[in-house]
Structure 1
């Protein structure tokens, strides 16, 4: 089944075609071959069989097997005959990443790096089951679920300008907390304002290379060695519970609407059904939870920099560059057969990457294109990209989301002893703060694909362009 036919630069088609539409992969030949080693291609082929899918089931170069859709999966569905599937969004709803500027240089930060990382690690709660500094009752959680990052800003956690520098202005208007279970509220309330564990992180980084000076300047990147902060986290146990709850709902819905599922993990419901509308209301509540989460942590990051460097966040020029989602389904307008058409785009482990001119891009960036932030693995580079026209034509305005795992956490613990990983980071001058040894092993860079090969692939395929490469100085891990 997994024969790949080259269609052009970094683009492949899976044959034989078994679904309603083809399966397309965006990757160099080495990354494409790696996808044959797990269930990525099988899962993508199953996605291609779902009702109402348009054009292709697509996989980004960081693709690997997930639940239902492969991680790195992108698919769009028609509004009349299409479906929505929790397996096409994932458990960590609106897992996403934010970049924050500073006007500091690496030489400014280096003497205070240990102090800075210790204080960031202290001020931003992290780890499995970690509890937040903001104590909200389940009833009080309703407002941030409806208002997203805008709630946090209204409570003093951030600047008014932050909202426009977030995908969807940090708020999904269709969020409906009444569609969220008591269990999700119970899990979400104490974890609000926490980083979490797994591949989530906070990094202090230096700009190592600028590939596109004009676009970099538009995004606030002025020079090499400028220090930025990257924050990667999601909706915590709240989003996980929403996904869990609605997988059960969608299994029943698939039977009710007589949808033939190629894999029960792709359980789904017609877009206009009650079950789908309820899921969207709950899923967007989790999206808003994650936007709000990253917003309150941005406030604490700014406070910590002020404490360490004795300058206000304003004086340190700590503007948000942008904040992007990785796991979401959204209703967007795209060109289908030459006509502007509303479709439901599922991005699971994929990033929106709109080309210049789209009205969804903030006015300050509209001429340049949407900023796209691609985190690497622990101790490796990360990238700032910009959306390109190829993404609008090929992949529903989507690109990759990171490095992508190549091995399980259990195998990483066996293969990468924490002491060896720590020694490697020390040799690179990277300061690490982590909650335990297991997470250091699980997140070793060897457990992931090469992020540089991933971003080179999306650039070659024309989905996005490299603007700058950043390298870690300090890492905080849950």
Structure 2
């Protein structure tokens, strides 16, 4: 990205000036000069297009890990006011609805557990279905799928997958209200019947990590974190169901925009007013997709606990937090000094409520929401805490963010060589696809340390702990 196009407002905040005759809201970009300079110009084009959508409240924004996506840039945040003609956009949510990370803390130490990491990697690999189109042992009938879409992680817990105590530490307490299973097509439901409790492919993973560094002692204590501790991160979403919802509603919303005379600069931004029949129909389906993802991560949590118990009989894995980064949520936010109910699109961005927020578990209320920032399998990840005065509608970076496309990665790296190289570094990879490893090479991502620092310096969230990967299961 050519930084000469931008105006620097603060060390980690930039704006995109309007061109003569250009009618749109403000565009704000959070990040350091090196991070923004490494982004494709397509990010600017996409977020400027978002700023031209009806009913936008405040500015259209990008997080420090932003990169080109479908419709919205990944790392894009925009809030819309239904009372002001605000819209809902499938391209602002993403095809993998409610893709997110479930983070589990353990009572194990890396040093003591290290001799069995190889066996743990193999056990997890056989226990966790992963890969393109990979199905699990759980096969659901149509009535059960509808229950999942209504009840989310509560359904999974009621079926014996995990613990009721997990629900307190899941976004929306494990069940998104406003789900309408009838708004989800039979094809979408059919795709999901065998995919509950599966990771999928691409950048999804189950990773065993060690807490290497603590930045914020008070927040780490509240989160139950300590140096040397083993952490488990599960990154996945709503699988085939979410993708099918996104595919189908993109067409429906495009027709709605045309019917209502809404001009969108790119068909990928197909949208409809929040209060329109089409907008409400998509929201009901999207909320069903969120519940699907929450249930999926709950089942995977149970499978991970079962695998750990086979290798470490005294292992205890507690849910630290589960947060999505492909959603649109109705939330109260202050704009120009007045509280407003806004529909906040977060595409590759994580909700990051600050201290005192009533939706936080009591355990975390004094320090803020855990924000899980996934890195790559060869570098590391961060746990941060939300800030009270977050300037981006309580949003933060969701990960390192891609620096190279999957095609570019395949041309540069070979999966087998990467697996061997990472093994020499003490990082064990288990995968069904060496091509997938090459696509997800550590070098294909931005420097997660720079993203975490920029996220903190921009006031979005503050660093609590750095996690180093030890074992990674991928599709």
Return the TM-score normalized by structure 2: 0.97
Partner of 2:323: 324
- Mapped to 2, the partners of 1:287 and 1:413 lie a distance apart of 31
Q: 2:26 aligns with which of 18, 22, 26?
A: 22
- Mapped to 2, the partners of 1:301 and 1:325 lie a distance apart of 19
Partner of 1:208: 212
- Could you tell me how far 1:436 is from its partner in structure 2? 1.7
Q: 1:124 aligns with which of 124, 128, 135?
A: 128
Return the TM-score normalized by structure 1: 0.97
Partner of 2:9: 7
Give 3-state SS (helix, strand or coil) of 2:426's partner.
coil
**1:111 has 2:108 as partner:** no
Q: Deviations over 1:184-219 (max 9, x none)?
A: 011111111100000000011100000011110100
- Mapped to 1, the partners of 2:283 and 2:248 lie a distance apart of 13
Q: Deviations over 1:275-297 (max 9, x none)?
A: 01110111111100000000001
Q: 1:427 aligns with which of 409, 424, 429?
A: 424
Partner of 1:384: 383
Give 3-state SS (helix, strand or coil) of 2:142's partner.
coil
Q: 1:93 aligns with which of 94, 97, 102?
A: 97
1:389–1:463 Cα contact (<8 Å) kept: no
Give 3-state SS (helix, strand or coil) of 1:62's partner.
strand
Q: 1:224 aligns with which of 224, 227, 232?
A: 227
Q: Deviations over 1:126-177 (max 9, x none)?
A: 0000001211012221101100001111111111111110011111110110
Q: Which runs of 5+ in 1 are unaligned?
A: none
- Equivalenced residue count is 470
**1:73 has 2:70 as partner:** no
Partner of 1:397: 394
2:352–2:371 Cα contact (<8 Å) kept: yes
**1:302 has 2:286 as partner:** no
Instruction: Spell out structure 1 runs of 4+ moving beyond 4 A.
Output: none
Alignment of 1:339-418 (within 5 A): 339-391=338-390, 394-418=391-415
- Mapped to 2, the partners of 1:344 and 1:145 lie a distance apart of 21
- Mapped to 2, the partners of 1:300 and 1:182 lie a distance apart of 28
- Mapped to 1, the partners of 2:357 and 2:396 lie a distance apart of 16
- Could you tell me how far 1:16 is from its partner in structure 2? 2.8
2:132–2:201 Cα contact (<8 Å) kept: yes
- Mapped to 1, the partners of 2:428 and 2:178 lie a distance apart of 41
2:419–2:428 Cα contact (<8 Å) kept: no
Give 3-state SS (helix, strand or coil) of 1:247's partner.
helix
Partner of 2:56: 53
Partner of 1:166: 170
**1:447 has 2:444 as partner:** yes
- Could you tell me how far 1:307 is from its partner in structure 2? 1.1
- Could you tell me how far 1:19 is from its partner in structure 2? 4.1
**1:42 has 2:39 as partner:** no
2:130–2:199 Cα contact (<8 Å) kept: yes
- Mapped to 1, the partners of 2:233 and 2:197 lie a distance apart of 16
Give 3-state SS (helix, strand or coil) of 1:15's partner.
coil
Partner of 2:261: 258
- Mapped to 2, the partners of 1:350 and 1:227 lie a distance apart of 25
- Mapped to 2, the partners of 1:310 and 1:189 lie a distance apart of 32
- Mapped to 2, the partners of 1:329 and 1:128 lie a distance apart of 26
* More off after superposition, 55-64 vs 415-424: 415-424
Q: 1:156 aligns with which of 155, 160, 165?
A: 160
Q: Which runs of 5+ in 2 are unaligned?
A: none
Partner of 1:180: 184
- Could you tell me how far 1:336 is from its partner in structure 2? 1.5
- Could you tell me how far 1:318 is from its partner in structure 2? 1.4
- Mapped to 1, the partners of 2:370 and 2:419 lie a distance apart of 32
- Mapped to 1, the partners of 2:101 and 2:273 lie a distance apart of 30
Give 3-state SS (helix, strand or coil) of 2:202's partner.
coil
Q: What is the root-mean-square deviation of aligned Cα atoms in Å?
A: 1.1
2:54–2:86 Cα contact (<8 Å) kept: yes
1:162–1:320 Cα contact (<8 Å) kept: yes
Partner of 1:82: 86
